[in-house]
Chains A and B, each alone.
Chain A
Amino acid sequence: MVFRTLVVALALLFAAPASALACPVCGLAGPGNNGWAYLAMTLMLSALPVGILGGVLFWVYRRTKEAEEAAEAEQSRRASAAPTRRQAGVEAVR
């Protein structure tokens, strides 16, 4: 039952949207032929930021993680080699 309702609703949504135009005045002007362009450009603009920034941030994240792992490996090596230099490390940072 739920499935059938869903099918009917989707069919209505995609088959007969022209009569459901929300703007009563726009009906007078007739449906514009750039509807598809609005839809396509809307999807493009919406998806682009996620793609670009996602890409940049993923790249930065990977490089950060690599650097952190390398530093940790370096640290544990140094910590096991010379545990007495603990205080010296703090001084160096200062």
Chain B
Amino acid sequence: MSAHAASHAEHGHHEQGFVRKYLLSTDHKVIGLQYLFTGMLMALIGGFTVYVFRMQLAFPGEEVPLWGRVTAAQYNALVTTHGSVMIFWVAMPVLIAAFGNFLIPLMLGCDDMVFPRLNRLSYQLFLLSALILIASFFVPGGPFGGAWTAYPPLSADPAYNATPWGATLWLIAVALEFVAFLLGGINFITTAMNSRAPGMKMFDVPIVIWMIVLASLVFMASVGPLIAGAIMLLFDQRFGTGFFNPATGGDPVLWQHLFWFFGHPEVYVVLLPALGIVAEVMTTFSRKKLFAYRTVIFTAIATSIISFFVWAHHQFVAGIDPRMAGLFTVTTLIISVPIAEMMFIYIATLYGGSIRFTTPMLWALAFIAEFLIGGVTGIYLGAAGSDVYFHDTYFVLAHFHYTFFPIAFIATFAGLTYWFPKMFGRMMDERLGKIHFWGTIIAFNVIFIPLFLTGAGGDHRRIFDYSLFPELAGLQGLRVLATIGLLVLIAFQPIFIYNFINSMFRGKVAGANPWRANTLEWAAPSPPPHGNFPEMPVVYRGPYEYSVEGRDEDYWPQHVPPDDPKRPAEQVA
């Protein structure tokens, strides 16, 4: 064998090593980071599309830098892509899959998921779905232009949506993605049931794990009808069936029935992990026990159950039976009770604590403040009477973004900045983190408060060019203001990206437990090696024993044995 061939073989072997380690890994941390980075890259696509169509709304008919003139069909495709990417390829993978995969085995004190190969398959399916969605940008007709809710007949007939291939690829991508999260969810729940560290009882499990598990349960129970509907829609698009076509005895409203059965629980699927992340960050930086740990769990369980009884409020103007509208108004207003309760619990956790305003803590506090605005404006939309007026206006859009932006970005930033030292073994820069925080939060409010006003003023949300509606011309100033807010928001994001990448390689080296936190992941080295713990931890107490009286330290990790066997954890707490 020649020297050249030998070095080539060595090179090939090295390549395989990289592939094995980073692409075909069954290690939960690698899979979690794969989900995280894929989600962050998809967020760039979602962010770019919103930039283009907001520019069109503020300056209709003008050239948009980096894009050009926006046509009506392109506008539809951009809005659809923004919505579906941000919900299905950013919020879901980052909040559930990335944090779930990274945190569940670490916080439960085990070496990996119960089904590691299923976990890898889950990520591969997810990556495939993302690639299919990206591929739809390059097919004739461009990406799907039938809105992320894909109502037929718009989505079923290429004559209406003008995107014959984009529509089909979109459906396949969404269905694949759901299968991926189904596999991931089964893994999360089974792991949480069967792989807890010795001594860890159900009520010693950190809130964020409870929340991710509950969210996975809600997802699994709600996704079936949508997959059924997606298959029917696929047949309508490609095989000439008429499931949603009234001319052949089909029913177009049926799609809404199947879609929203999943669509509304989906809100809680992403909300619960966000609430969990906030709970972890808040207790650590309040140096205080989480107020009413068990109540949080029971409240979350109640929310999960009620979340199956609210979905028809999306159909108040779809011609549903008014008796049903009455019922769903009541359930929709009821579900705000447990959520409000959770907000009060978090505020009570802050009360009397010694609060540290680190970057993650700022994000967690902002989550409470911003999500409250989203929750309160939801009341107007949950009541059938007022919803008839607000339906399909920018008021709905602003409400939705006041719930989803805190969930998908504020809580994610809280979680990322909090667990960054664990993920990469280095600290992020606090000063840059705070600049990024204030820029993002202020810009976010500048975007969406004007949109509440335009919505109440009558702006319908599916309009491509408002200059065609002279009676709405007075609202143009607010639309421009919202777009300026968006530009500022986007301008602040490179700070985060720089801080993230720079800190990965050049940040201050973090110890195993830089925040002096209690939960088990901080018992592992940062970043945790394959297998996580040098020796498997044993749990002696609940996750939130901060500032316990009679101890020198203000924290008491779950895995540290009680100092004095005569004074075990139960008596001191």
Contact = CB atoms under 8 A, between A and B. Distances in A.
Q: Answer whether A and B touch in the complex at a CB cut-off of 8 Å.
A: yes
B322 interface: yes
A38 B257 contact: yes
B192 to A, nearest CB: 11
B318 A23 contact: yes
Interface in A48-87: 48-50, 52-53, 57, 60, 64, 68
A14 B217 contact: no
Contacts of B323: 13-14, 17, 39
Interface stretch (B134-142, B281-289, B309-317): B309-317
Contacts of B536: 93-94
B570 interface: no
Interface string B293-327: 00000000000010011011000111111111110
Given A42-B312, A53-B217, A32 B222 contact: no
Interface of B: 193, 198, 201-202, 217-218, 220-222, 225, 251, 257, 261, 305, 308-309, 311-312, 316-326, 384, 388, 535-536, 538
Interface of A: 13-14, 17-18, 20-23, 25-26, 29, 32, 34-35, 38-39, 41-42, 45-46, 48-50, 52-53, 57, 60, 64, 68, 90, 93-94
Contacts, number: 69
A42 to B, nearest CB: 6
B312 A22 contact: no
A23 to B, nearest CB: 4
A49 B308 CA distance: 8
Contacts of B251: 34
Contacts of B217: 53, 57
Contacts of A38: 257, 320-321, 324
Contact of B324 (A26, A42, A49): A42
A64 B217 CA distance: 18
Nearest to A19: B322
A22 B389 CA distance: 10
A22 B535 contact: no
A75 to B, nearest CB: 11
Given A35-B321, A45-B261, A22 B388 contact: yes
Contacts of A53: 217, 220-221
Nearest to A42: B312
A93 B198 contact: yes
A21 to B, nearest CB: 6
A23 B324 CA distance: 13
A50 B261 contact: no
Given A41-B257, A42-B324, A53-B217, A22 B222 contact: no
A5 B309 CA distance: 26
8 contacts: A21-B322, A22-B320, A35-B321, A38-B257, A38-B320, A42-B312, A53-B221, A60-B193
A50 B321 contact: no
Contacts of B220: 53
Contacts of B535: 94
Contacts of B198: 93
Contact of B308 (A14, A46, A64, A94): A46
Given A23-B317, A39-B321, 18 more contacts: A13-B326, A21-B319, A21-B322, A22-B320, A25-B319, A26-B318, A34-B251, A38-B257, A38-B321, A42-B257, A42-B312, A42-B324, A49-B218, A49-B222, A50-B305, A64-B193, A93-B538, A94-B535
B111 to A, nearest CB: 13
Q: Which 5 A-B pairs have the closest CB atoms?
A: A26-B319, A49-B221, A17-B322, A23-B319, A20-B322
B316 A22 contact: yes
B398 to A, nearest CB: 22
B249 to A, nearest CB: 11
A17 B217 CA distance: 36
Contacts of B309: 46
Contacts of B325: 22
